[in-house]
A and B are shown apart, each in its own frame.
Chain A
Amino acid sequence: MSGFGGFLLRRAVGTVVTLLAISVIVYVVFYVTPGNVAQITCGPRCSPEQVHQVAQQLKLGDPLYLRYWHFLEGLFVGQDFSTGTSVAHCAAPCLGQSYQTDQPVLDIILTKLPVSLSLVLGAMVVWLVLGVGTGVLSAWRRGRISERVLTAVTLAGTATPVFVIGLVLMIVVCGELRLLPFPEYVNLTDDPEQWAWNLLLPWLSLALIEAAAFARLTRASMLETLAEDHIRTFRAYGVGERAIVARHALRGALAPVIALNANNVGSAVGGAVLTETLFGLPGIGQELVHAVKVVDLPVVVGMVLVVGFFVVLANAVADVLYAVADRRVVLA
């Protein structure tokens, strides 16, 4: 399996290079973003002297390259921060400390990550079930009214922004019908049942956006597979249509679905930003939006890196799964 080992190594190096490049871009972009960080941290009525003191405290006076160097240093060696009364050490890999809250960025990420993972992974299950299910049905019922209705419903999901779907779902399901709680994040480990009930609406809102793409893909792949020679052979042998669809055509659709799924992790992160903001879920996305607004550079860089890492990871996993699912593919 030297080929596979080499593949993994190339991927790992590529990932690190990609992530470092992303961190440079984020540093530069946020360096020129308007917003006086020291003034924001200090408060609107701080005097110039105080703002200057805070800037020194946060080492904001340093030139861009030096600040980036400190960031790298923290990442590989660790960093020390003063609390005023004592010194706190942030061990490598240290992503720095929030300008606004003085919390270590890694701690913030670790508390927010379970929320975002719960949201995205759960929604993934929903969109796969919904998307693939719809795709199978519409391939099977091709040309009939039911297919058209299904297509329109999934497209309605794509066409409506997640914040509209989410709010309307919330008002109707929680406010009017009172079928579900107003979502509030519950730790999976504390109460799995409440975790699921509370996340159901966020999952649905996020999944409806993505499901249509899967429905379309599944439908296309199935039609393609159903047109292949071996299926004809099965048919000739009198294998039932239901069995053909379930056992053979669906398998053919598997590989591209896996691949699309990985690709969608990126866009799902965008959707998660909106979903978390709307539902008040304390995840990475919501924190990122907040950090961008207060120009909290260490938090922004740290979180963008984490998100980027998951996107890269998802794509790598997809390539491996894809190769497994479709043996014709050679890993490059």
Chain B
Amino acid sequence: MRQPSVIARRVAAASVSLVVAAGAAACGPKDSGAKASGGDSTPHKGGTLTVLNAEPQTDFDPARLYTSGGGNVPSLVFRTLTTRNRANGAAGSKVVPDLATDTGRPSKDATVWTYTLKTGLKYEDGTPITSADIKYGIERSFAPELSGGAPYLRDWLVGAADYQGPYKDKKGLSAIETPDARTLVFHLNKPEGEFPFLATQTQFTPVPKSKDTGTKYEEHPVSSGPYKVVKNENDGEHVLLERNTYWSTAVDDQRKAYPDTIDVRSGLDSSVINQRLSASQGADAAAVTTDTNLGPAELAKVSGDKDLAARVGTGHFGYTNYIAFNPTVKPFDNPKVRQAIAYAIDRSSVVNAAGGSALAEPATTFLPNQKSFGYTPYDPFPAGASGNPAKAKELLAQAGYKNGLTITLTHSNAKDFETSPEIATAVQDALKKAGITVKLQGLELNDYKDKIHSVKTEPGFFLAHWGADWPSGGPFLAPIFDGRQIVKDGANFNTGLLNDKSVNDEIDAINKLTDLDAAATRWGALDKKIGEQALVVPLFHPVYKRLYGKDVKNIVISDWTGVLDISQAAVK
């Protein structure tokens, strides 16, 4: 699961650039005044796009990145077999070819996938991109030195479970065949109709073996995309990208790459990023952020200012914040207790705690409210906008808790407005009306993650969230509800410990489908079926609101990422 820092306000992350080009200071006494804005809205080539981020681009190595759809900044340097459609809204959640000529040709049972590379593909040094380089790129992502990516390749490729990467195992992965320089054949150990989605992740980026420098590769990865890395300071704090002259729109119909230079500066406090974007002075007029939402306080200010409000991009990323139960812990083994809590929940106060109706939408389904996930509206325990404490009390009485109940809610102490104390206190306040006394157990983030993802220490009642690896029901439902994905001695995400044969079988059946629309419908139906068991109480889906500088044009925000796509943005 990708865990984007959504509204991370005070992520005390690493830091910002050391060297700032002269005059880059935003509004200094040397400032020559704001550029003329407005007028021509057609995008033109040229200029420098500045990216102001909280989190640095650490591990800028295609093997180590964990992205949804190849990421935002990484996607400027790393091309993959397939990629996300660079279009606004729902159209943007489709998968399209990138290096390959199509999104992949499946065998009849979807266990063998064949790809053919486009012709004329070149690296930043002019050497051709070959299928063997893509195979090598995937292989090195198995090296323990380069860990960090998503688990799917290891789970899906034949014989990959114990593979330790090309540094220790020279034989390589037999599951990937390269019959010629343009063809790749993937052999999977089970049908996976969503393989084209997986091929958008950066592990499918070509890496020339002769240029591989192991853990040092991140300092200068070889570009296959429109930009190459000319500077990477302090492990991604300041990344400067310039045009890769061997790339052109003739071989890439997705990325527009208008600006000549992309200047990524990170380690900034989120409130500072938003202040700078709203001031939009000097170089900040051509700035965007790829990781920082408007917080509630900033939204309150922006919504009162027409000029600022016009510079806010709104997007939806497939993401759900929810309450999770561990049904092996009393009293949550009793479905009536879980249902009572589902009825008692006050989603409007939870939404307020998450930043208000502009930043969060109340959720009653586990799947995100987007078509590509197969969203099927349902609400098995209708609590209304602000909870139904009477119904909750009734269920509690049936469960044998006439005089109320005292339970402990585990949450993190992160300031993320997701699993954070703000949300926990909103839940606490709502359940009070139903006679449920909630004690809060706030854990430091690492402790919290260790506890909720270990079968041995998992608490009975806690806040959790889940994000999409790609916009489909598969990576959203399977890790959480597939009984065979319960991990006993490691990080477990099936926190409801559900092992229901009918659910497992349905997951297998849907994975065989290569018709993604048909699959989506069935994911939606499965979500509804699981939802009735009240193993989770969906709380809200976040909405992304992000400011951009006044000179930024061609704003494209897809439902896949929910954020402004910098491969489309122009500053001239």
Which A residues fall within an 8 A CB radius of B? 33-36, 39-51, 53-54, 56-57, 82-86, 88, 100-103, 108, 111-112, 114-115, 167, 170-171, 174-175, 178-182, 184-187, 190-191, 194, 197-198, 276-283, 286-287, 289-290, 293-295
Residue of A nearest to B236 (CB): A101
Interface assignment of B17: CB less than 8 Å from any CB of chain A: yes
Chain B contact residues, majority secondary structure: loop
A184 lies within 8 A of B20 (CB):
yes
Interface size class of B (residues with CB under 8 A): 35 or more
Which B residues fall within an 8 A CB radius of A? 1, 3, 10, 12-20, 22-31, 58-59, 66, 140, 143-151, 154, 161-162, 164-165, 167, 212-216, 233-235, 237, 265, 267-269, 271-272, 275-276, 278-279, 281-282, 284, 444-447, 449-450, 453, 479, 487, 489-491, 493
14 further interface pairs, Cβ-Cβ under 8 Å (given A45-B1, A185-B17): A34-B444, A36-B446, A47-B487, A50-B144, A84-B212, A171-B275, A184-B265, A185-B18, A277-B12, A278-B272, A281-B15, A290-B12, A290-B15, A293-B446
How many Å lie between the Cα of A191 and that of B161 in the bound state? Answer: 53
Q: Which B residues are in CB contact (< 8 Å) with A287?
A: 14-15
Given A47-B154, A182-B275, the answer on whether A283 and B15 have CB atoms closer than 8 Å is yes
Q: Which A residues are in CB contact (< 8 Å) with B10?
A: 277
How many Å lie between the Cα of A323 and that of B284 in the bound state? Answer: 51
A101 lies within 8 A of B18 (CB):
no
A182 lies within 8 A of B18 (CB):
no
How many Å lie between the Cα of A126 and that of B25 in the bound state? Answer: 22
Q: Which B residues are in CB contact (< 8 Å) with A111?
A: 18, 233-234
Q: Which A residues are in CB contact (< 8 Å) with B237?
A: 282
Residue picked from B265, B444, B479, most chain A C-beta under 10 Å: B444
Given A36-B450, A86-B213, the answer on whether A190 and B269 have CB atoms closer than 8 Å is no
Contact of B278 among A103, A115, A175, A180 (CB under 8 A): A175
Q: List 29 A-B contacts (CB under 8 A).
A: A34-B444, A41-B147, A43-B149, A45-B479, A47-B487, A48-B489, A53-B147, A82-B214, A84-B140, A84-B146, A100-B58, A102-B145, A102-B215, A111-B233, A170-B272, A174-B279, A180-B27, A181-B282, A182-B25, A182-B272, A184-B25, A190-B19, A190-B20, A191-B20, A194-B28, A279-B272, A280-B16, A282-B14, A282-B267
Q: Which B residues are in CB contact (< 8 Å) with A53?
A: 144, 147, 164
How many Å lie between the Cα of A48 and that of B491 in the bound state? Answer: 7
Q: Which A residues are in CB contact (< 8 Å) with B444?
A: 34-35
Given A42-B147, A44-B3, A293-B12, the answer on whether A187 and B214 have CB atoms closer than 8 Å is no
A290 lies within 8 A of B14 (CB):
yes
What are the nearest 4 A-B pairs in CB distance?
Answer: A282-B15, A84-B214, A35-B446, A48-B490
A40 lies within 8 A of B27 (CB):
no
B147 lies within 8 A of A187 (CB):
no
Given A170-B272, A280-B272, A282-B16, the answer on whether A181 and B28 have CB atoms closer than 8 Å is yes
How many Å lie between the Cα of A36 and that of B27 in the bound state? Answer: 43
How many Å lie between the Cα of A172 and that of B214 in the bound state? Answer: 47
A175 lies within 8 A of B28 (CB):
no
Residue picked from B17, B144, B444, B489, most chain A C-beta under 10 Å: B144
How many Å lie between the Cα of A221 and that of B54 in the bound state? Answer: 46
A178 lies within 8 A of B27 (CB):
yes
B20 lies within 8 A of A101 (CB):
no
CB proximity of A248 to chain B, nearest CB, Å:
40
B281 lies within 8 A of A178 (CB):
yes
Q: Which B residues are in CB contact (< 8 Å) with A54?
A: 144, 147
B151 lies within 8 A of A35 (CB):
no
Q: Which B residues are in CB contact (< 8 Å) with A102?
A: 145, 215-216
Given A45-B1, A198-B25, the answer on whether A278 and B269 have CB atoms closer than 8 Å is yes
Residue picked from B28, B151, B450, most chain A C-beta under 10 Å: B28
B13 lies within 8 A of A290 (CB):
yes
CB proximity of B31 to chain A, nearest CB, Å:
8
A101 lies within 8 A of B15 (CB):
no
Contact of B446 among A40, A85, A100 (CB under 8 A): A40
Q: Which B residues are in CB contact (< 8 Å) with A186?
A: 19-20, 25
Given A47-B490, A83-B214, A100-B58, the answer on whether A286 and B14 have CB atoms closer than 8 Å is yes
Given A182-B279, A185-B20, A290-B14, the answer on whether A197 and B25 have CB atoms closer than 8 Å is yes
Q: Which B residues are in CB contact (< 8 Å) with A174?
A: 26-27, 275, 279
How many Å lie between the Cα of A278 and that of B10 in the bound state? Answer: 8
